Amino acid sequence: MDRTWNNKAWFLVLPVLVLVAFSAIIPLMTVVNYSVQDTFGNNQFFWAGLDWFDDTLHSERFWAALWRNLLFSGIILAIEIPLGIFIALNMPKRGWGVPVCLVLMALPLLIPWNVVGTIWQVFGRVDIGLLGRTLASLGIDYNYVQDPFDAWATIVVMDVWHWTSLVVLLCYAGLVSIPDAYYQAARIDGASRWSVFRFIQLPKMQRVLLIAVLLRFMDSFMIYTEPFVVTGGGPGNETTFLSIDLVKMAIGQFDVGPAAAMSLIYFLIVLLVSYVFYTVMTNVGKGAEQ
C-alpha cells in the first residue's frame, strides 16, 4: 500500500513511545548502569568498566546455560514446527470438528505458565502422577528429579504440550486461506500429496511460519517459569537455562553487576538470532517473488 509521508504521524505514535520508554528504556538504562559498576551494598557504586562483561564471557556457568538454552530451543523448534504443520494439515476444514479442535487445542496456551509447570510436575511424579506411574509400571526407570535425561525429556515434552498448538493454529490459519481452486487444479495436474504440500501449502504458509518460528524461538529462549516449577533448574544445573540463572543471580544472590552484564549479552543474543531468522526467512520469500 502506498503510504503518504507525514511527520505528524509521530503524534499518533507518541503514547506508545512514552509507555514503552517508561517500561523499557528506563529499566534498560538501569541495567546498563549496573553492568558497568560494582557495589558493596549501602548504595555505594564504583565504576567497573567492562569487567562484568569480561567475567561473564569467560564464565563457564554462563556458557553452559547458553549452550543448554540453544540446545533446548533447537530441540523444541525441530519438534514443534514439523509436528505443528503435520497436525494443521490433518485438521478438519469444515463442520463441527473445527471449533472443537480449535478450542481444545488453544487451551494450553491460556494456562498460566507456572500452572503448566505444576500440571506436569504432578503428571510426571512417580508416586502420584499418571505419566510417572504408567512409565514405572511399564518397567521404565523414570525420575525427572534425579535423572538429567528424564528431566530434559519432561521439559521438552511439556513445552511441546504447551506450545505446539500455537504453531498448529498459525499454520491452520495459513492453510484455510488457500482457495479450493488450488487443490482442484493440483488434482487436474495429477499432483501427488507431497507436491501439493511442497508447491501449494508450504508457499502459502510461509508468512505464518515465520511468525511461528520467531515467536517460538524468542519464547523458548526466554523460558523461565515452567522448568523452574518442574525441576527448579536441576538435577544439579542440568536444566538451568539463562533466565533461571539470571534470576538466581540477580534476585537470589543479589549480584547485580554480573547479572546486568549477563542480561545485556542475553538480550543481544535474542536480538541477533531473531534478526538472522527474520532476514533468512524473508529473503527466502523475496527469492520466490522475483
Binding flag, residue 71, another protein (CB under 8 A):
no
Residue of 90, 22, 56, 6 lying closest to 257 (CA atoms): 56
What lies within 8 Å, CB to CB, of 52 at 6+ separation is 35, 36, 38, 257, 258, 260, 261, 262
CB 80 within 8 A of CB 167: yes
Min CB(159)–another protein separation in Å: 13
Binding flag, residue 24, another protein (CB under 8 A):
yes
Binding flag, residue 65, another protein (CB under 8 A):
no
| From 52, 85, 221, 257, residue interacting with another protein (rule: CB under 8 A) | 221
What lies within 8 Å, CB to CB, of 130 at 6+ separation is 123
| From 59, 114, 143, 237, residue interacting with another protein (rule: CB under 8 A) | 114
Binding flag, residue 42, another protein (CB under 8 A):
no
Binding flag, residue 103, another protein (CB under 8 A):
yes
**Beta carbon nearer to another protein, 48 or 121:** 121
Q: How far is CA 202 from CA 6, 78, 209, in A?
A: 38, 17, 9
Binding flag, residue 174, another protein (CB under 8 A):
yes
Binding flag, residue 64, another protein (CB under 8 A):
no
Binding flag, residue 74, another protein (CB under 8 A):
no
Binding flag, residue 142, another protein (CB under 8 A):
no
Min CB(275)–another protein separation in Å: 9
Q: What is the DSSP letter of 195?
A: H
What cell does 35 get? 553492568
Binding flag, residue 213, another protein (CB under 8 A):
no
Residues 44 to 63 in contact with another protein, rule: CB under 8 A: none
Binding flag, residue 211, another protein (CB under 8 A):
yes
3-state secondary structure (DSSP) of residue 47: strand
What cell does 237 get? 544445573
| From 243, 257, 258, 261, residue interacting with another protein (rule: CB under 8 A) | 243
CB 3 within 8 A of CB 9: no
Min CB(42)–another protein separation in Å: 15
Binding flag, residue 79, another protein (CB under 8 A):
no
Binding flag, residue 177, another protein (CB under 8 A):
yes
Rounded to whole angstroms, the maximal C-alpha distance in the chain is 78
Interface segment toward another protein; rule CB under 8 A; list 46-54, 57-65, 113-121, 138-146: 113-121
d(CA 191, CA 56): 55
CB 165 within 8 A of CB 105: yes
Interface segment toward another protein; rule CB under 8 A; list 41-49, 53-61, 127-135, 144-152: 127-135
